[in-house]
Chain A
Amino acid sequence: MKKVVFGFCALALSAVVFGQSLDQSMLTKPPAGSWPMYNGDYSGRRFSPLTKINDGNVKSLSLSWLYRVNAGPGLGSNVSSTPVLVDGVLYFTVPDHVWAIDARTGREIWHHAHESKGGIHLGNRGVGIYGQWLYFETPDCNLVSLNLKDGKKRWQAPICEPDQMYFGSIAPLVINNHVITGVSGDDLDVPGYIESHDPETGARQWRFYTHPAVGSEDAKSWPSTEAMLHGGGMTWGSSTYDPELNLLYFGTGNPQPVIAGKARQGDNLYTESIIALNPDTGKMAWYYQVSPHDTHDWDANEVPILFDGVIDGKPRKLVAQAARNGYFFVLDRTNGKHVVTSKFAKANWAKGLNAKGQPMPDPAKDPAKDGVLVAPNQAGAANWPPASFSPQTGLFYVNATDAYSVYYIYDDDEKPEGWGGNDRGGWSKSTLKALDYKTGKAKWEHPWEGTGGPRSGVLSTAGNLVFAGDPQNNLVALDAASGKPLWHANLGARMSNGPMTYELDGHQYLVVAAGDMVFGFVMN
């Protein structure tokens, strides 16, 4: 069934391909030097096999171009998207805006501005591309398809309801004839879900709610159906995909009400979980909850990274996540069985691990009226900025943040709704860590000077390099094996996205954003 659909789709597209275009084989097996989707490839590893920029010559990396976006003041112009490269053109976003720029020169080719009907303009992660079409989500809850060539709108399709305070922010993921969309928004108590849309028409193919079926065994993780159906679990992280297993992997967000959790006793499935779905049907294959009954807004939307490894001498297909709650998880991605859990940053909220490797929340660290000191803080030990896994070193690289804040209950009602509390104040300090997936322990760590956490992603390359941001606005290249800093450039603002790399005309480029600036570095 899937093959038939795919075959038809490829045929239909091949008939109209000209100029900028991308086909499914580019997505399934991206050639070295390409970057055809948000994470570079379906695995989410953000590892590039390119070696033209390497530990021996990185000091010669030079600025090739700088592009500055203009989408208004504040976070509206903050580039948190990772550009996607197709046929020498980079495509990236801020909320309501998409740009196409020349990957060789930074010259703007087109700019599309969406006429907004509202929604939270907190950030946008970027685009999905297939054929000659581009897809992005908007704060006012639309999936929009543009013509790659000129940025003209083809159609828009609703993916959520702004009146329920949902909004769109993720980079859609294209898998065969599916455009996978997620939703954001935790101001009101609404359920999370993930959808698939038809790439040609935008019509919805399926929707999977991130809560159990009413009356099922898993539904007993909620005190009532009412609580479960208003229990959150947004899908605002980046998904990954294993073409061989035909499974889509994504993390889910916080349960609702967010901080005041007394009217939702239980584990609150499937919030703050890693979920594997069949992308053709939207049916769940397995789930693993990384934060049972969270009351700290620790969305588990960090990228679930796929790689193959060896555990106890046996080859295994694995998925790993450095979660916002301070714990690192390695699972078997064929069945969701637990392999490793470790603490990768300060975390004082769990009593220990259960038999499945899940941290067991300590009720003493639930938010309280008089304040409770919790590590990590609400921003988390990690967050949406993507981590990286290098198959060359076998290390999982993440900017880990040690952080404390005080969590308060603001609404002591028997049936709180929405947030009902928040955290305040805090101290934080970040360290780039290289975790050994077999043990979860750091092989090396590089503490960044000063306090505060960089909200930036990580890239690793076969040139034995790791690229990451520090809290002082530096883009830093480090030796991937040892963690030694080798090169830096101060970007004038904190790195605001995940770095990406590509090769054009025999030259390797490195592209990174800081605030409203997108920098193109090149090895000449």
Chain B
Amino acid sequence: MTRNLVFASVLIAPVLLGQPPGNGPMPEAPGRAVVMQVCGTACHGPSVVTGAGRSRDQWTAVVNQMVARGAKASDAELGQIITYLSMNFGPGARPAGEPGGPGGGRGPAAGATGRGPGPLGSGAADSHVVDDAGAERGKAIFGAECNSCHGMKARGGNEALPATQRGPDLIRSMVVLKDRYGSLVSPFLAKGHPMRSGGDAKSLSPAQAGDLAHFLHQRVYATLRNGAELQILNILSGDSKAGATYFSGAGKCSGCHSVTGDFAGIGRRYDAVTLQQKFLFPRTVAFGRGAPPPQPSKPVRVTVTQANGQTVAGNLVSLDDFNVALRDGEGNYRSFTITPQMKVVKQDPLDAHVALLDEISDKNIHDVVAYLESLK
């Protein structure tokens, strides 16, 4: 079942691409020995395997490809390999920042936020899996021979260049997008293609062409919505003095907060982006794509006055047009069906933050962030 030879036709040179052993961790778990034996001896060091962060379906597709590329194993062994890889290198299995984790430039659509790998990942199930070491080698070739025409980021030559030296955008190239492990890039270059050194790309070995393919796919994946390089840049553009004025003036922040009290040293506790997000959206809802999970925050209070005049107050659990639920001072859960005779009064201590959204200017925001950041 797993031995799917549908990819055999795209096999050209890539089988020859020897990968040096990497240092990525291969956790002890059932199936490890089979993975090492089938994948790790002749072709891969562990680094090409780890970090890809794929779902079981995607790993199945990768393994099928490897079978097509010559991996030798029984069906039972292939099943064990897929299970091992999807259990240990599945979506979300890697801590961010670790080698091969988000930041490694892998795709498709790997990333810590929003649409991650797995069933929501972009692109074809058999999409190219980038080998970081190969991509690094490819980057060196690209930097030496290609980027003068195709641009540093492979997005095509600068428009200031004469047309003859302006290479096309390779991120948008169907040769690249449909390539798998050099299957199209390698024959394209083998037909002959000028290089900066004056040589011809047909002099590149299949392994070098394969490395270029790794680099180009890495650039494509970096372009996707959740591309690993897409991070917030420096947001400290404001004027901290103006921020201080707004804090105690128009922003009315000092009505509730004190820079010598609850905000003492707040610039040490949070980075600038967190400060910005926290003061604008203290009760962030995880609704927009890419939104972080809700932060625990000051609870909403609610007071229910029943028809008989009895009052119950507590922290709001839920409220809609028909029912209200709360936890009272003793931690008891109480719920009521709302009637016309009943009064429900809600009080959110963070209402002032919501009201601020309609009033605050972007300059105020940047100034306040600069001010809070300066409170070390």
Distance A258 CA – B224 CA, assembled complex (angstroms): 11
Contact B281 A427 (CB under 8 A): yes
B337 nearest CB across to chain A (Å)? 11
Q: Is the pair B237, A369 in contact by a Cβ cutoff of 8 Å?
A: yes
Q: Report Cα–Cα, A408/B290, bound state, in Å.
A: 12
A424 & B122 in contact (Cβ 8 Å cutoff) = no
Q: In B117-143, which residues have CB < 8 Å from any A CB? A: 118-127
A163 touches B322 (CB 8 A): no
Give every chain B residue within 8 A of A339 (Cβ-Cβ): none
Looking across the interface, which residue of chain A has its beta carbon closest to that of B227?
Answer: A418
Residues of B within 8 A of A409 (CB): 233
Q: Does B354 contact A (CB under 8 A)?
A: yes
CA distance A267 to B220 in the complex (A): 27
The stretch among A184-192, A232-240, A329-337, A511-519 that forms the contact with chain B is A184-192
Of the candidates A163, A230, A448, which one forms a contact with B177 in the assembled complex, judged by CB atoms under 8 Å apart? Answer: A163
Inter-chain contact B280/A230, CB cutoff 8 Å = no
A427, B285: Cβ atoms closer than 8 Å: yes
Check if B281 sits within 8 Å of A118, measured CB to CB.
no
A379-B289, A425-B277, A426-B285 as given contacts; A163 in contact with B232, CB under 8 Å: no
Decide: A419 and B318 in contact? CB cutoff 8 A. Answer: no
Q: Are A117 and B290 in contact (CB under 8 A)?
A: no
Question: Are A404 and B285 in contact, CB atoms less than 8 angstroms apart?
Answer: no
Within 8 Å of chain A (Cβ to Cβ): is B366?
Answer: yes
Report which of B224, B235, B273, B360 forms a contact with A165, defined as CB distance below 8 A: B224
CA distance A425 to B231 in the complex (A): 14
- B-side interface mostly: loop
Are B284 and A426 in contact (CB-based, < 8 A)?
yes
B172 and A230 form a contact (CB under 8 A): yes
Give every chain B residue within 8 A of A346 (Cβ-Cβ). Answer: 358
In the complex, B79 has a CB within 8 A of chain A: no
B98 at the A/B interface (Cβ < 8 Å)? no
Q: Which of A379-394 contact B (CB under 8 A)?
A: 379
Query: Which residues of chain A from 148 to 169 have any CB-CB distance to chain B below 8 Å in the complex?
Result: 161-165, 167
One of A185, A373, A411 near B230 (C-beta < 8 A): A411
| B10 nearest CB across to chain A (Å) | 12
Quick check: is B288 within 8 A (CB to CB) of the other chain?
Answer: yes
Q: Is the interface of A mostly helix, strand, loop or mixed?
A: loop
Distance (whole angstroms) from the CB of B368 to the closest CB of chain A: 12
Residues of A within 8 A of B227 (CB): 418-419
The reply to whether B362 and A373 form a contact with Cβ atoms under 8 Å apart is yes
Q: Does A372 contact B (CB under 8 A)?
A: yes
A284 sits at the interface (CB 8 A): no
Number of chain B residues close to chain A: CB under 8 A: 66
C-alpha spacing A187/B366, complex, angstroms: 30
Q: By the criterion CB–CB under 8 Å, are B230 and A410 in contact?
A: yes
> Per-residue CB proximity of B171-208 to A under 8 Å, as 1/0?
11010011000000000000000000000000000000
Q: What B residues does A190 contact at CB under 8 A?
A: 172
Of all chain A residues, the one with the shortest Cβ separation from B153 is A413
Chain B: which residue is nearest A450 at the CB level? B319
Residues 224-249 (chain B) with a chain A CB within 8 angstroms: 224-225, 227, 229-238
Among candidates A187, A372, A410, residue contacting B109 with C-beta atoms closer than 8 Å: A187
Across the interface, name the chain B residue whose C-beta is closest to A427.
B281
A162–B180 CA distance with the chains assembled, in angstroms: 14
CB contact list, A413-455 vs B, under 8 A: 413, 415, 417-428, 448-453
Contact B357 A422 (CB under 8 A): no
B288 CB, nearest partner CB in chain A, Å: 5
B-side contacts of A419, CB under 8 Å:
223-225, 227, 230
Determine whether the beta carbon of A428 is less than 8 Å from that of B321: no
Is A373 within 8 A of B237, CB to CB? no
State which residues 2-40 of A face B: CB under 8 Å.
none
Cα(A450)–Cα(B325), bound, Å: 13
The residues of A that contact B292 with a CB separation of less than 8 Å are 424-425
Cβ A427 vs Cβ B365 within 8 A = no
Q: Is the CB of B120 within 8 A of A378?
A: no
Flag whether B291 is at the interface (Cβ < 8 A): yes
Assuming the contacts A188-B223, A415-B156, asked whether A405 and B322 have C-beta atoms less than 8 A apart, the reply is no
| Contact A427:B125 (CB < 8 A) given known A120-B120, A364-B362, A370-B235 | no
Q: Which residues from chain A contact B28 at a C-beta distance below 8 Å?
A: none
Question: Once the chains are docked, how many angstroms separate the CA of A411 from the CA of B151?
Answer: 15
Among the listed A119, A369, A410, A474, which residue makes an inter-chain contact with B123, where contact means beta carbons less than 8 Å apart?
A119
Q: Is the Cβ of A426 less than 8 Å from the Cβ of B122?
A: no
With A425-B292, A426-B281, A451-B283 known to touch, is A118 a contact of B126 (CB < 8 Å)? Answer: yes
A470 an interface residue at 8 Å Cβ cutoff? Answer: yes
Take A371-B276, A410-B230 as given contacts and tell me if A117 and B124 are in contact as well, using a CB distance cutoff of 8 Å: yes
Report if A426-B288 is in contact (Cβ < 8 Å); known contacts: A187-B225, A188-B172: yes
Residue in contact with A373 in the complex, picked from B126, B288, B320, B360, CB distance below 8 Å: B360
| Cα separation A474 to B323 with both chains bound (whole Å) | 11
Is the pair A162, B124 in contact by a Cβ cutoff of 8 Å?
Answer: yes
Quick one: given A189-B172, A370-B366, A422-B230, are A378 and B288 in contact (CB under 8 Å)? Answer: yes
B346-361: CB near A (< 8 Å → 1, else 0) gives: 0000000010011010
Q: How many Å from the CB of B211 to the closest CB on chain A?
A: 20
The answer to the question of B3 belonging to the interface, with a C-beta cut-off of 8 Å to chain A, is no
Contacts of A95 in B (CB 8 A): 119
User: Are the CB atoms of A428 and B287 closer together than 8 Å?
Assistant: yes
- Measured between alpha carbons, how far is A167 from B109 in the docked complex, in Å? 14
Instruction: Report whether B280 and A406 are in contact in the complex, using a CB–CB cutoff of 8 Å.
Output: yes
Is B75 an interface residue, CB under 8 A from the partner? Answer: no
On chain B, the residues within 8 Å of A448 by CB distance are: 320-321
In the complex, residue of chain B having the shortest beta-carbon distance to the beta carbon of A73: B119
Evaluate contact between A424 and B321: CB separation under 8 angstroms. Answer: no
Interface status of B57 (Cβ within 8 A of chain A): yes
Instruction: Determine if A377 and B280 form an interchain contact, defined as CB atoms under 8 angstroms apart.
Output: no
Let me know if B115 is at the binding interface, CB within 8 A: yes
| Residue B155, interface by CB 8 Å | yes
Q: Which 8 A-B pairs have the closest CB atoms?
A: A118-B125, A418-B223, A118-B124, A472-B320, A370-B237, A370-B235, A410-B230, A162-B124
**8 pairs across A/B with beta carbons < 8 Å?**
A118-B125, A118-B127, A163-B124, A167-B122, A187-B109, A371-B232, A405-B291, A424-B292
Given known contacts A370-B366, A371-B235, A488-B321, what 9 new A-B pairs fall within 8 Å (CB)? A117-B124, A119-B123, A187-B109, A375-B357, A404-B280, A413-B155, A417-B223, A425-B281, A448-B320
